[in-house]
Amino acid sequence: MGAKAKKALKKNMKKIAASAASSQLPLPQNPKPSADFLPLEGGPARKAPVTSQPLENKATVLYIGRIPHGFYETEIEAFFSQFGTVKRVRVARNKKTGKSKHFGFIQFEDPEVAEIAAGAMNDYLLMEHMLKVHVIAPEHVKPNLWKGFKCNYKPVDSVQIERRQHNKERTLEEHRKMLQKVVKRDQKRRKRIAAAGIEYECPELVGNTQPVPKRIKFSED
């Protein structure tokens, strides 16, 4: 390649470089990253907002599940007192029989003690029962959760209620209505026996036209 050809090649390369530089858009002096993302390289780093105070733990109520038989309010309070001061205990019970439903609630005075007790007693084997204990958030504690927690629970005496219902004084009209119900039930029973192909003579009942027999009263002893 001669000298003239080399000069011409250099001129062409300079023209191509100048045109390429003029076609590029100018970059801003201080680029700012958008709010949606941070630049991969360079740019000011962003820090997460720091709260002035950490969130305070105020949960003091624990749920206790799978409570064994014989482990009731007195036993629960005595057992959990080893962790800290217990304010109140409640075991869910059947309204009619008074028997335990095998779950309950306990409240501590200190939230930290409640958290420690929940971690220590969850999945704890007690009297062949695996306890389930966890902390209940304050917003999930219902207002009537501790209703009657200190009362000596007395179940409903269904026998006493039936005794009073049986021994109450009735009018003649009430006796007739009662006998009519008895007769209707007896007729239905006779039809079922006949439909089954069984030969059986049912004893006659006292009709509502005959004098009303005296009712036997049961003593309350």
pLDDT at residue 167, as a whole number: 87
In this structure, how many other beta carbons lie within 10 angstroms of the beta carbon of residue 87?
Answer: 14
Domain boundaries, the chain: 61-146, 169-212
Return the C-alpha torsion angle 153, 101, 116, 113, nearest 10. Answer: -20
Which uninterrupted H or E stretch holds 177?
Answer: helix 172-195
Query: How far is 64 from 121, CA to CA, in rounded Å?
Result: 9
Query: How far is 136 from 107, CA to CA, in rounded Å?
Result: 10
The tokens describing 20, both together, are 């390429």
Taking alpha carbons only, the member of 150, 149, 117 closest to residue 135 is 117
pLDDT one digit per residue (tens) for the chain, 221 residues: 567 666 777 777 777 666 656 555 555 555 555 545 555 555 565 665 555 555 567 899 999 999 999 999 999 999 999 999 999 999 998 877 788 899 999 999 999 999 999 999 999 999 999 999 999 999 999 888 887 665 566 777 778 888 888 888 889 998 889 888 988 999 998 899 999 998 888 787 755 445 545 556 666 65
Query: How far is 78 from 73, CA to CA, in rounded Å?
Result: 9
Q: Sign of the CA dihedral 217, 218, 220, 221? A: positive
CATH of domain 61-146: 3.30.70.330
Query: How far is 54 from 71, CA to CA, in rounded Å?
Result: 38
In this structure, how many other beta carbons lie within 10 angstroms of the beta carbon of residue 115?
Answer: 17
pLDDT at residue 125, as a whole number: 95
